[in-house]
Copies of this chain bind each other. A is one copy, B any other.
Amino acid sequence: MSKQVISVFGLGSMGFGVACSALAAGHHVYGFDVDPDSQSRFLAKGGDQASVADAGARSHVVVSVVLNGAQTADVLFGDKGIVAHMRPGSVVVSCATLAPDLARDLAARCDAFQVLYLDAPISGGSVKAAEGALTMMASGSSSSFDAAKPTLDAIAQTVYRLGDEAGPGSAMKAVNQLLAGVHIAAMGEALTFGISQGVDAARIVEVISKCAGTSWMFENRAPHVVNGDYTPHSAVNIWLKDLGIVLDVAKGSNFSAPLAAAALQQFVAAAGQGLGGEDDAAVAKVYAHNAGISLPKAK
């Protein structure tokens, strides 16, 4: 496998794992984050640093793992945007959840610099990111897949190729986030409803996990509520952002999405109650508060 020079933008819970997975595979990795502590942590792991201009000129691949579309646009084309420094034939791998229209726009702007663009949202959480075992929903030209291949091999376990231009990758991610967000809120609704009927929370998780009402998110998040542990693996605020994107895209296509809208409102209420930084399972607290019941305490 050929070794690449890679610049990773965003060294948060996902990006740090991505950057370290690339390092572990033997690539040369420049790390960028607005937080100097994150940057120092990455240097301690064997990462490198450089100016945006130098890193851009040297990199085969730029991986953007920032929070949203606005940050992605800024990393690529802002005052200190890297694309203007990149060599023709190098490639941007854009991992944030963003609207398909924005993905198409960013790809076109990269194309003007003869820089390739892979619309490549990721799924799997910080643990999979650290293991180099993410799932990637990707679309773009064959050239862009080829140019990024050694990097993708290092950071993703599965790469779905969903089309030969930007857009379908982000659209598939939006489909996943619609379901994931609705399922987390549904977990909160159902678990708290069961408690309101006098059923033991742990028993609900045990039984429903074996029944037709289960979901990946139910099995993953309901134990957080049972254990009273709201350490943020994925925060409530993520869903204000991601369900917001889903609903913006939906509205732009005259697509009515009442479940996504109802779920978003529960996460908004959670944020409004000061729970935005807690684990997204804390959406259950909104239901409990509204029903005047108590959830299990931390052990």
Interface residues of A (CB under 8 A from B): 100, 123-125, 135, 137, 158, 160, 162, 167-168, 171-172, 174-180, 182-183, 185-187, 189-194, 196-199, 203-204, 206-208, 210-218, 220, 246, 249-250, 253-263, 265-266, 287, 290-292
Contacts and interface: CB of A to CB of B under 8 A. Distances in A.
A193 B125 contact: no
B177 A213 contact: yes
Nearest to A177: B213
Contacts of A249: 197
Contacts of A218: 179, 215
Nearest to A191: B175
B199 A162 contact: yes
Contact of A211 (B171, B176, B291): B176
Given A179-B186, A215-B215, A258-B266, A291 B253 contact: yes
B220 A180 contact: no
A177 B212 CA distance: 8
Contact of A255 (B168, B196, B212): B196
B123 A212 contact: yes
Q: How many copies does the complex hold?
A: 2
Contacts of A208: 172, 175-176, 179
Nearest to A265: B258
A215 B262 contact: no
Contacts of A124: 212
A3 B4 CA distance: 72
Q: Is the interface of A mostly helix, strand, loop or mixed?
A: helix
**Quick one: which of A135, A199, A206 has the most chain B CB within 10 A?**
A199
Contacts of A262: 258-259, 261-262
7 residue pairs, one from A and one from B, having the closest CB atoms: A179-B213, A215-B215, A171-B197, A176-B213, A175-B194, A180-B213, A262-B262
Given A180-B212, A253-B291, A259-B189, A204 B168 contact: no
Contacts of A265: 258
A207 B250 contact: no
A256 B182 contact: no
Contacts of A171: 194, 197-199
